[in-house]
Amino acid sequence: MMLGMGPRARYWLLLACYLVYLLLGSAVFMAIEGPPEHRLREQLLGHLAAFQADHQHCLSPGKLEVLLEAVLQAQAYGVSALGNATEPENWDFASALFFAVSILTTTGYGHTALLSDGGKAFCVGFAGLGLPAGLVLVAILQQHLLRPLRYLVSWVATRYSLAPARIPWLQVSLLSLMVGTIFVLLPTLVLWHQEDRWSLLDACYFCFMSLSTIGLGDFVPGQDHHPALYWISQLALVCYLLLGLLALLLTLETVSELKEVRAVMGFFSSSISKSPEDQRGIVTQDVLALSNCPPPSASPGTGHLQSCPTESGVCPPP
């Protein structure tokens, strides 16, 4: 039945399925995370009630609420009331570099926020210029970075006499294996070992959220380390974000070039399919044809200029 549908109908069906998927995901999140939130809220209210009962003679509820509001407002900007003198600042150079990289990679963990209007205005201009420049850089580096992988794929295909249809899948498999090992598995194990409060799932969760540029900010490594280790962890995290995002984009670009993926995209596309002859860049062919034409000259006996027709691209004989 679905194969008999037109391209536009298939497109709207795909959009409807995506919206249903979004609504189902929202319902699952609500069902899973709702009860823990209620328990945490009850525990917090219980602690506040016990604290007020113990100190009701020296601290009024109104003053306690003012204090808590100030603490929560500072926490929203990355300033914790639980820190001490050895806690690293949010805007030293390492933290500022990490913040800049999180902006340009669109990760945006949100654990540190801008305080001044000047910083917010500069962030808009910084991201407005840096994001397009990053996309251009990735497009330029793509061919250079994939060249060694293609050499390896060609060698394996020749060595084992693989069919041509399997070569793109081999390239995708090798690249996915490299990215999964270098940017997911190894960082997960390292973070699990270095961060005392993180479980293995927490470390894997952070790596996935970072590479996918979701960056919820609930887990950020290096926050409880000594200042010297904090610098090292921040610089390592900067390199991880830059290289990991680049590797992920290269993987997605390679996957999108698969014939099967293009067939699926074409199946749900609402545009009218074009023949291969229509997709060869007509403007480029006309420009090349015109560039090969001699300059216009007067036709004998008429005095009219003779030019090359653009439809055929073939110059008439002089």
pTM, two decimal places: 0.66
pLDDT value at residue 80: 67
Least Cα distance to 151 among 167, 173, 139 occurs for 167
Judge whether residue 68 has pLDDT over 50.
Answer: yes
Judge whether residue 300 has pLDDT over 60.
Answer: no
pLDDT value at residue 203: 92
Assign 3-class secondary structure to the chain: CHHHCCHHHHHHHHHHHHHHHHHHHHHHHHHHHHHHHHHHHHHHHHHHHHHHHHCCCCCCHHHHHHHHHHHHHHHHCCCCCCCCCCCCCCCCHHHHHHHHHHHHCCCCCCCCCCCCHHHHHHHHHHHHHHHHHHHHHHHHHHHHHHHHHHHHHHHHHHHCCCCHHHHHHHHHHHHHHHHHHHHHHHHHHHHHHHCCCCCHHHHHHHHHHHHCCCCCCCCCCCCCCCHHHHHHHHHHHHHHHHHHHHHHHHHHHHHHCCHHHHHHHHHHCCCCCCCHHHHCCHHHHHHHHHHCCCCCEECCCCCCEECCCCCCCCCCCC
Does 301 fall in a domain?
Answer: no
pLDDT value at residue 286: 44
Residues 6+ apart with CB under 8 A from 278: none
Does 12 fall in a domain?
Answer: no
Higher pLDDT pick, 146 / 185: 185
| Both structure tokens of 223 | 């926050």
Does 295 fall in a domain?
Answer: no
For residue 77, what pLDDT band results from cuts at 50, 70 and 90?
low
Does 300 fall in a domain?
Answer: no
When pLDDT is averaged across residues 126-136 and rounded to a whole number, the result is 90
Which tens digit of pLDDT belongs to each residue from 91-120? 788 888 888 888 888 888 777 778 888 888
pLDDT value at residue 83: 57
Judge whether residue 222 has pLDDT over 60.
Answer: yes
Rounded Cα gap, residues 176 and 183, in angstroms: 10
Query: What's the domain range around 125?
Result: 91-109+116-272
Q: How many independent structural domains does the chain possess? A: 1
Does 181 fall in a domain?
Answer: yes
The CATH number covering residue 195 comes to: 1.10.287.70
Does 283 fall in a domain?
Answer: no
Does 102 fall in a domain?
Answer: yes
pLDDT value at residue 23: 92
pLDDT value at residue 129: 92
Does 15 fall in a domain?
Answer: no
Residues 6+ apart with CB under 8 A from 27: none
